[in-house]
Amino acid sequence: MSTEYPPTMPAEYADIEFENNAQRLPLVLCLDTSSSMAGAPIQTLNNALVDWTRELHDDVALSYSVEVAVVTFGGRGGVSSWRGPQLLDQRAGVSPFVPAHLFQAPQLTASGVTLMTEALELAMRIVAARKTELRATGLQYYRPQICLVTDGVPTDATGHLTDSWHRLVPVLAEEQAARRFRLYAIGVGGISDMGERVLEALAPKFNARIHGFPFRELLQMMSASAGAEQKGAGDEVFEKIFSQFKTQRRAWES
């Protein structure tokens, strides 16, 4: 049975029908679009998103089970959610998740401050809401994945450093212990030692500090992780996939 959507649904997705009964895998890309990402980094990210979208569409195993949502932190809105290329009104109550075979990459720009704490909180809320929706329609789901990517450290709305992220540490530890989602936290570019310590605290098992901006490889790693989730892989498989991703850094840095 097709689902009726509210009039706030962006036109390009107004005809989405969820007749596919495949088990779903919600995936949230939580991306830093603050001013430090301006120029080549944000363009590299945009290009990688386009390439990854094409690869998702071509991957039969993933394209009809993975659902993609994008959360960004930066710009005038501070923290935003995207349904494909469409920036959502947070008050509209529209889910940002799009089936992978219909997903189109947003065109991101870089400006503003690094509201990382608030972005992660939004990512967790939309994952919880999507799981509730899936349960209500009788659909099963794999463990969701959240991928945080940043080149900086958390700030407040005025751009000053903040320790607000500390409140997330026990919450994230509890959520992941309960297997409610898996969080990856990736530092890119010239992220500082402080920034690395924040990511280590947020995602003790799946954090990395990568020089440069290897967004294409990062997104391919997320696809590999999604594929392992579909196969019911044990934790050691995800750790191996992540370790392989991290050990490629020498090729990127050379």
Q: What pLDDT digit, counting tens, does each position of 212-232 carry? A: 999 999 999 999 999 999 999
The pLDDT score that the predictor gives to residue 20 is: 67
CA distance 151 to 186: 8
Number of domains within the chain: 1
Q: Is residue 8 assigned to a domain?
A: no
Query: Are residues 45 and 108 in contact, defined by beta-carbon separation less than 8 angstroms?
Result: yes
Q: Is residue 2 assigned to a domain?
A: no
Here the CATH number for the domain that contains residue 246 is 3.40.50.410
Mean pLDDT for the stretch of residues 181-191: 96
Quick check: 18 pLDDT over 80?
no
Quick check: 183 pLDDT over 80?
yes
Mean pLDDT for the stretch of residues 15-20: 50
Q: Is residue 11 assigned to a domain?
A: no
125-171 pLDDT, tens digit each: 999 999 999 999 999 999 999 999 999 999 999 999 999 999 999 99
Q: Is residue 5 assigned to a domain?
A: no
Q: Is residue 14 assigned to a domain?
A: no
Quick check: 6 pLDDT over 50?
no
Q: Is residue 215 assigned to a domain?
A: yes
Quick check: 210 pLDDT over 80?
yes
Q: Is residue 226 assigned to a domain?
A: yes
The pLDDT score that the predictor gives to residue 217 is: 94
Q: Which residues pair with 155 in a beta bridge?
A: 161
Mean pLDDT for the stretch of residues 46-65: 95
Query: Are residues 138 and 226 in contact, defined by beta-carbon separation less than 8 angstroms?
Result: no
Would you say the pTM of this structure is higher than 0.85? yes
The pLDDT score that the predictor gives to residue 19 is: 54
Query: Are residues 183 and 176 in contact, defined by beta-carbon separation less than 8 angstroms?
Result: yes
Give the pLDDT band (50/70/90) at residue 36: very high
What beta strand segments (E) does the chain contain? 25-32, 66-73, 79-83, 86-87, 98-99, 145-150, 182-187, 207-209
The type of residue at 188 is V
Q: Is residue 164 assigned to a domain?
A: yes
What domain range includes position 141?
A: 22-253
Quick check: 28 pLDDT over 90?
yes
Mean pLDDT for the stretch of residues 2-15: 40
CA distance 21 to 7: 25
